[in-house]
A and B are shown apart, each in its own frame.
Chain A
Amino acid sequence: MMRKLLSVLLMLALVIALVPAAFADEALEPITLTVFRGDPGEAPAEDNKIYKLIEEKFGVKFDFEFLVGDLDEKLGLMISGEDYPDLFDGGNSADKIIQAGALINLLDYVNPEDTPRLWAHIEPQKARLIEKDEDGNDVLYIIPNYGLTDGPQIANEVGGPAFFIQKQVLAWAGYPQIHTLDEYFDVIEKFLEANPTNADGQPYTGFAILCEDWRHFCLINPVQHLMGRPNDGEVLIDVSTDDFHTETFIDKPYAKPYYQKLNEEYHKGLISADTFVMSYDQYIADLSNGTVLGMFDQAWDFGNATAALRTAGKDENTYVALGLIYDEDDVEGVLPEGWTIEEHYLNGSLPNVRRGFGISVNCECPERIVAMWEEMLSNEWQLIFNWGIEGEDYYVEDGRLLMTEEQYKQTQDQEWQKHNKARAFFESSPKKQGWILDGEYEGNCWEPGNQPEIVKGLMTEYDQKFLEAYGYSKFADFVNPPIELAPYGEAWQIDYTPVNVDHTEFLQIQDKRLPELIMCDPADFDAKWDAFVEEITPSATAFGDFMQQAVLEEVAKVLG
């Protein structure tokens, strides 16, 4: 009898023990998501506090893999094996994995009812983000990692393309206004004449042109900016025309003055032949060294050099972005009909379409990831990702989010980030940017680096004096304010894969010929230029025609 009772009790105990498990929130069953990032990076430390929070709250752990080597090749290999990670960021070649059918359609999970925050996040840019697949269905593969910003555009400095010049050159010349190519090279020439070497006796380079691999945009992109357009990649678009007239610019007569100018400067010794075979590492090393006076580049491309110069206290060797345009004399008679040159280096903010995490078809729990993103778009989580933990990483005063100098500095330290930031995950996830529009911290910035108090606090004495000399309040004042984004966005975002062969040829000819043109005997320049135009015309035409079509399609999509 006793025994029976005991066994019944035992059974009961067992049932009681099991029931909660069976009814427990299924979503909390711990899982590990495999993650691929299409750029190089480093896995977080085991004890990272943000990932710990995520694990506690969502029961999710991550297993990261970062790109090593060539992205297209890596993606090609992954596609051929059809073995995809759960969260898949194809970097700049995401088009490739989308085409291979590696990603699920997020619209199966994202909608106003189930995921109000995500929906509100993408809704304003819906037209750009949601595409049609072959069968005409609405699809969304990737929620952009950047560019879906709230509130007025923040433009404290030029983050993209510009002609850069060391601050000391302008200071030496008495803070002149520089707006044209001639003025730009003139001031560098004069500075170089007066100061051939720096204080350590290392010679200065007048103008560097990085040509390595995909970074050859430093060589091939400037003409469109000199013509007064923001970055459309390798085409010039006339937004004033109804058909958004699109053409490749490198083969047009208005491209010639720029390269002729470079040829001239090459023979004056401002440009060295080394520059054309320089590796990216070397380039960054030279810039960090403070011996390069000027270059055309995009600010993010040499961020490491800027950071190194700052750390070394060489503020005078950091760069200021100038918005150079052609002088009317330069391009007299070769401008397209009705074209007027007006400087526009800054563009309206644009969603980073098709960049960021997609969820792969191999993922077993897409709804759980989407639910997690939904929760993470809350103010609470966005603060954790952007600012960290209150009291530890930042403090609040009168409703303002603030960091001490020490706190801000540590956020820039890679080693610290490994333990205290969830970069590898957050960078590719949907996120809020710009201004906080609701809740208790309304009126603050999402990103500490944009918060006005912090921007002001970080400004060095040298920079303050420099700006004062010009009567500017921020470095973006050197260029015109952003214009409204054209309906097609920025044309470099367009997927070129259908004209891959022509496009590759188009780029290869430029890679080869432009350095030759810059280095050739000035007497031969005209003949060589004509030969170049003849050589590149077939591929340029094929690529240009494709882009014209693609731009129109994009416009039609966005304007409806």
Chain B
Amino acid sequence: MTGRRVVITGMEVLAPGGVGVEQFWSLLSEGRTATRGITFFDPAPFRSKVAAEMDFDGEAHGLSPQEARRMDRAAQFAVVAARGAVADSGIEMDRCDPHRVGVTLGSAVGATMSLDQEYRVVSDGGRLDLVDHTYTVPHIYDYLVPSSFVAEVAWAVGAEGAAAMVSTGCTSGIDSVGHAVELIREGTADIMVAGSSDAPISPITMACFDAIKATTPRTDHPAGASRPFDASRNGFVLGEGCAVFVLEERESARRRGAHVYAEIAGYATRSNAHHMTGLRQDGAEMAEAIRAALDEAVLDAEDIDYINAHGSGTKQNDRHETAAFKKSLGDHAYRTPVSSIKSMVGHSLGAIGSIEIAASVLAMKHHVVPPTANLHTADPECDLDYVPLTAREHRTDAVLTVGSGFGGFQSAMVLARTDRPERGAA
């Protein structure tokens, strides 16, 4: 099965600011932000009080009342996005061999929101050590083990091939799609429904990020709270969302006349083996992942037209990855636009990697690079071209997108237009 190449033929995005690819792209291309004061619960006791929340009603997006009741919010996102991506691809799943269709989903924190809510009930507000089983909802096992999200998506799209969740913290959204690419390349599947979903905006998540001061304490101006690469940045803004793709082997996509968004040309992941939450400032491991992804793509640093950064807006991340871009791309890093859409849609943990893949695909589709919102005065140690405030028309045939997360995981993916001028391709 060597030589099999993998393309994206369908996608759907649920991001703060709106459900659907069109709303997502208009937010990004207009440089608007979707961060706001938290409304899901009373944020008063918390250090960080802003988030990028979605306005989402599962039933309005086609879920049955029973589906909406049993599924965690992140699972609801995933099912809605998966159905949307399949519809977008034009694939008639009924006419496919379900054994050759698989599902991978990424999620960093699974059903955290439901677990938080249900714990509160069964413990009677934290009073009971021996929590009361007579108050559990019957489907709570599906919250305990978040591979239930994958089951829901497989049922929704009719997949009976390889199915799994990839849960590598904040790189889950890249790693899940990368995993699906590997399954198609090796011949395990012909079609993969792949993406990631997280809905972490709940008190327990806010509390633990408060404790390590990872999220921003800024409260005065929620729309300006997420400030990657800006000298005044002081933490990320928690978000939520989901993106799901339909991936196909390139030749079979061509045969059915599918619209092809892009090829997933290269993917790699490495670990920093350093610290569960800390980063070494030289960015060596992310640089290694980038080099490996370029190798797999058979592309040179100079082929990269745009870097979709992790850009979380923590002090150490933005310097870490700036160093990694320079180490891996050399001088080309200085000539390449870099931006962080987390400035607009926040950091949805395991989901954001897939949402950023979608942003990268759309940048290639429109030849427009989304901006880094709220970037007024760059950190002097972040000295690349971060596309401040305003989107930019820019010929974009190949994109590097990266992720970095707790556990030390560093992932990189290279996406390319299939009609790009080939340079030394294998």
Q: State whether these chains interact.
A: no
